[in-house]
Amino acid sequence: MEEKLFRLTRALAARFTGDESPEDKQIIEEWIDGDEHRAALVRGIMDKKRFEANREETRLYPAGKAWKRFRRATGRGHWSRVLYPVAATILLAGVLSVFRSREMPLPVAMEEDEEFFFHSGTTGALLTLDDGRIVNIDKQTALLMTERDGTTIIVDSSGMDYHLPVETPAEEVYNEVRTPTGMEFPLTLSDGTRVYLNAESRLRFPVHFPGDTREVELEGEAFFEVTPDAARPFTVRSGGIATRVLGTSFNTRAYGNERLVVTTLVEGRVELLGKQGRWEITAGEQGCYVKATGACEVRRVDADLYTAWRSGKFIFRNERLEDILSYLSRWYGFEYEFRDEAARDIEIGTSLDRYRDMEPIVRILQTTDLAHVVRVGNKLEIYSK
Q: What is the CATH number of the domain that holds 380?
A: 3.55.50.30
The answer to the question of residue 150 being in a domain is no
CATH code, 248: 2.60.120.1440
Q: Which residues contact 311 (CB under 8 A, 6 or more apart)?
A: none
Looking at the fold, whether 265 and 358 belong to one and the same domain comes out as no
Last residue of a domain, one of 310, 342, 360: 310
Task: Yes or no: say if 155 and 93 are a contact pair by the CB < 8 Å rule.
Answer: no
Give the pLDDT score at 5: 62
Looking at the fold, whether 319 and 304 belong to one and the same domain comes out as no
3-state secondary structure of 328: helix
Last residue of a domain, one of 310, 344, 370: 310
Looking at the fold, whether 228 and 323 belong to one and the same domain comes out as no
The answer to the question of residue 245 being in a domain is yes
Report the chain's mean pLDDT, rounded to a whole number: 81
Looking at the fold, whether 327 and 289 belong to one and the same domain comes out as no
Strand 143-146 and strand 152-156: the pairing is antiparallel
Last residue of a domain, one of 57, 76, 109: 109
Number of domains in the chain: 3
The answer to the question of residue 134 being in a domain is no
Per-residue b or e along 294-331, where b marks 16 or more CB atoms closer than 10 Å to that residue's CB:
eebebeeeebebbbbbbeeebbbeebebbebbebbbbb
Looking at the fold, whether 297 and 222 belong to one and the same domain comes out as yes
Q: Tens of pLDDT along 352-381?
A: 899 988 877 777 777 777 888 888 888 999
Q: Tens of pLDDT along 204-251?
A: 999 999 888 899 999 999 999 999 998 999 999 999 999 999 889 999
Q: Give the structural domain span for 53.
A: 2-109
Looking at the fold, whether 290 and 348 belong to one and the same domain comes out as no
The answer to the question of residue 185 being in a domain is no
Single pTM value for the model:
0.69
Looking at the fold, whether 262 and 344 belong to one and the same domain comes out as no
Q: What share of the chain has pLDDT > 70, as a percent? A: 78
